[in-house]
A and B are shown apart, each in its own frame.
Chain A
C-alpha cells in the first residue's frame, strides 16, 4: 500500500500538533474547573493574528508571540465571564467562538478586501512548533503530577473550598490556567497558519473540539492526550491521501466521525474533576 508510507506517520505528527496543543490547554483549564469550548475561536484568533502580524512586519516570530498574546487575552475574557461573572462555561465559550468568527470575517475584509481569507505571508518552519509542542507536553506531565503548583491546580478543580482554606486563590488560579489554555490555543492557531502559509476562516475546522475530545480520551493527562491527538492527526493525514480513492466529502468526514466514535467509547471512564463547570462562591460575610 502506498498510502501507509513513512511520510504518513510524519505528517500525522504535524497534523496532531494543533490538536495536542488544544488538548493540553484544555487539560489545564479543566483541571482548574473551567470548561473552555471557546478553544475553536481562540485557535482561529491565533491563526488570524499570526497572518496579520506576519503580513505587515514580515517577522514570523513576532507573529507567533502576538498570536499567543491574543489567545491569552481571549482566555482571560472567558475566565472573567465564566469564573467571575458566573456565566455558563459552555455558553460563554460558544459566544467567544461566534465573536471570533465574526471578527475574522470582518477583519479579513477590512485588511485585505477578501472575505475570510488572507494572502500568503512569511512563515516559519512549522516543525519548530511541533518541537515546542512536544516539549511543553512532556513538561506539563511533570508539572501537573510532580510539583506543588500542579498539586494546587488539581485541588482547585476537585475541591475549591479546600484549596481556598489552604490559602490558594481559587479565582486567580482558574483565571491563570484559562489564560494559559487560551495562550496554547493561540499557539495552535499560529501553527495552523505556519503550516498552510495563509489564513482561511475554516482553517481550524473543528480541531478545537477534537482537541477537547483528545483530552477526554487522555483522561486529563498530557501524555495520554498526546497519544489520542496523534490518533486524530493520523486519521487526518490518512484522510488527505484517501481523497484520491473516495469522494473528498467522505474522507473529510473521517476525523469527525472518529471523534464521535472515540468519545462514545471512552468518556464513561474519564475522571472528570469534581468541580468542573461549577462556579465557586466564596462564603460571604
Chain B
C-alpha cells in the first residue's frame, strides 16, 4: 500500500445556483500520476481549487500527509508543498522569468533581491527536470509551451511535492504534449504526486497510474489505468448519455467564393507583425477550419477580417466587394458576421439589457431607429422577444441585464443576434469555449444549419477535435502564415499537430 499524500472526504462546494462538488472523495498517493477526468462542468477544477486553497468547501475534510488540514489560501497550500498550474497562467508578462519565479520567495542579500542566487536555483531545477527556459527572458516573449514550463518550474521552486496540472495539454500540440509527459514522468520518479486534470481519454490512459472520473460533481469511480479502457471511461464520464458528436452531411459547394482573403498582413498590439501574408477562400456551403496553437496570429487574423484591426497589407473581399479594413457595421451590411472569442470582452455589454444587446450592431438600422435621434423601442422589444424565443434563450426578462444570464444563454443570445442577420459569411472564434455539452451541441447544429443553407463559415478553434469534426477543409496557421490546407480526412491528428508546431518544415 503506497503512502497517501492527500485524502479529500465528502467535499461539497456550492455556488449560487450550482452544486459544483456534491460530496466527492478523492485520494492521491506519493509517486503516482492521478488523472482527474470529466466533462466541462463536472467539477474537476473546483475540486482541485479547493485543494489549492482557492475555494473553501461547504462541507468535507482534507487530509494532507495523513493529518487533517484546513487550506485557507493558496499561500497555505504552497507552504504545505502543493503547487498548481492553472489553465490561465499566473505570470506577469512584463517581468522576467526569474522575477516571476522569485516573487514571494525571494533570495536576498541584505535588503536587495539576490538575482545571482536565484539564477543558480533556476538553473539547477532546469537541469533536474529538463525544462529548458531562459531565466532572463521576459515572459511576454515566450511561447505558450514555454510559459507552461515556467509555471511548472515556479511550483517546483516553491517546493511543490504535490503538483496539480489543470488541462495542461489544452494549449499544447502533440509534440509539446510528449515533452510535458516526460517531465511528468520525471516528477513521478522523484516520488512526487501529480494530479492531471483532463477531459481527453487517451491522454489519461497514456500518462496516468490511476484515474478518477467525475460526473456532475460526483466521483463516479477511481480505477487503475491498467484496468481502464476508453469505452469504459467514456461511459463513466457521460453516464447513459452518448458522447455527442455531429456529422456534417455532405453538401456540395456551388464553387462560389464568399470570403476571399489575399496576402493579408496585420500587427499585434505591440506592433509586431502577427499575420504575415495570409490567403484563403471560403466557399458557399463550406466550413473552413483554422487550426493552430494559440498565439500564432489567429486573433489578429480574425480581427483584421472583422474590421476590428487595421490590416497593414493585403485584401479582404466579401462576395464581390472589397471590404479591407472596413468597420464591422459595413461588413455586416455585406453579410459577414463575427462570433467573437470572448463573450464578455466583445460580444456583449454585460450591464445592458437583453433588448439592448439584441440590437448591438443593428441599433442604427431604420428598423430600430429613426435617424440618430430616436429609437423604435417597440420594434426593438418585439425583435428581442423573437430572438429569445427562436433560439430558446432563457432570460429572466427582456429588460434584465445580460450579466444575469448563464454563460450558455449569453452565447445563445450572441448566436441569435448574429445568425438571424442571415449572414453569408460567419467568422467564429472558439464558439463553444466554456459551454456544457448541450450548449456545444446547440452551437454546432446552428453552424451546420447555416452551412446547409449555403453560408460559408470560417471556424477558428484551438480545439483540434472540434475543427476536425466540423470543417470541410482545415488550414493550419503557424507564426502568422497558413502553412497547409487539407481536406477533411486527408490528415491525421498527429500530422496536423506537427504542422501546427513546426510549420512547413514538418512536411519532410
Contact = CB atoms under 8 A, between A and B. Distances in A.
Contacts of B94: 158, 271
Contacts of A159: 90-92
Contacts of A283: 49, 54-55
B103 interface: yes
Contact of A162 (B78, B90, B105, B112): B90
Interface string B480-492: 0000000000000
Contacts of B49: 283
Interface string A138-170: 000010001110111011001101111111100
Given A146-B113, A151-B99, A154-B95, A167 B75 contact: yes
B106 interface: yes
Interface residues of A, number: 23
Contact of A151 (B55, B75, B102): B102
Interface in B235-259: none
A202 interface: no
B502 interface: no
A265 interface: no
A188 B98 CA distance: 36
A216 B115 CA distance: 28
Nearest to B94: A158
B104 interface: yes
State the majority secondary structure of interface residues on B: loop
Contacts of A274: 92
A285 interface: yes
Nearest to B88: A161
Q: Which of B50, B78, B91, B104 has the most CB of A within 10 A?
A: B104
Nearest to A143: B111
A140 B317 CA distance: 55
B112 A147 contact: yes
Contact of B56 (A147, A151, A165, A285): A285
A165 B91 contact: no
B112 A165 contact: no
Contact of A167 (B54, B57, B104): B104
Contact of B104 (A152, A161, A285): A152
A154 B93 CA distance: 12
A147 B111 CA distance: 6
A86 to B, nearest CB: 15
A155 B55 contact: no
Contact of A146 (B54, B56, B93, B112): B112
Interface residues of B, number: 29
Contacts of A155: 92, 95, 103
Nearest to A273: B94
Interface string B47-65: 0011000111100000000
A142 B49 CA distance: 37
Contacts of A142: 112
Contacts of B321: none
B92 A166 contact: no
B13 interface: yes
Contacts of B79: 167
B273 interface: no
A167 to B, nearest CB: 3
Contact of A285 (B54, B78, B106): B54
B108 interface: yes
B160 to A, nearest CB: 12
Nearest to B83: A165
A158 B94 CA distance: 8
B230 to A, nearest CB: 34
Contacts of B102: 148, 151
B90 A148 contact: no
B401 interface: no
B103 A152 contact: yes
Nearest to B89: A162
Interface string A237-252: 0000000000000000
Contacts of B56: 285
Nearest to B84: A165
Contact of B92 (A148, A162, A164, A285): A162
Q: Which of A142, A148, A168 has the most CB of B within 10 A?
A: A148
A166 B112 contact: no
A164 B52 CA distance: 12
B108 to A, nearest CB: 6
A154 B92 contact: yes
Q: Which of A147, A152, A162, A285 has the most CB of B within 10 A?
A: A285
B55 A162 contact: no
A163 B103 contact: yes
Given A148-B113, A155-B92, A285-B13, A165 B108 contact: no
Q: Which of A151, A152, A164, A165 has the most CB of B within 10 A?
A: A165
Contacts of B74: 164-165, 167
B92 A165 contact: no
A151 B106 contact: yes
Given A158-B94, A159-B90, A162-B103, A148 B78 contact: no
A285 B112 contact: no
Contacts of A148: 102, 106, 108, 113
Nearest to B105: A166
Interface in B30-52: 49-50
Nearest to A168: B104
Given A152-B104, A167-B104, A158 B95 contact: yes
Nearest to B99: A151
A148 B99 CA distance: 9
A164 B76 CA distance: 11
A146 B106 CA distance: 11
B90 A161 contact: yes
A285 to B, nearest CB: 3
A166 B75 contact: yes
A146 B111 CA distance: 9
Contacts of A154: 92, 95
Nearest to B75: A167
28 contacts: A146-B113, A147-B112, A148-B108, A148-B113, A150-B113, A151-B103, A151-B106, A151-B113, A152-B103, A155-B95, A158-B92, A158-B94, A159-B91, A162-B91, A162-B92, A163-B103, A163-B104, A164-B73, A165-B75, A166-B75, A167-B73, A167-B79, A167-B104, A274-B92, A283-B54, A285-B13, A285-B50, A285-B55
Given A166-B75, A166-B103, 13 more contacts: A142-B112, A147-B111, A152-B104, A154-B92, A158-B93, A161-B90, A163-B104, A167-B74, A271-B94, A274-B92, A283-B49, A285-B50, A285-B57
Interface of A: 142, 146-148, 150-152, 154-155, 158-159, 161-168, 271, 274, 283, 285
Which 5 residue pairs spanning A and B have beta carbons closest together? A166-B104, A167-B75, A285-B55, A148-B106, A162-B90
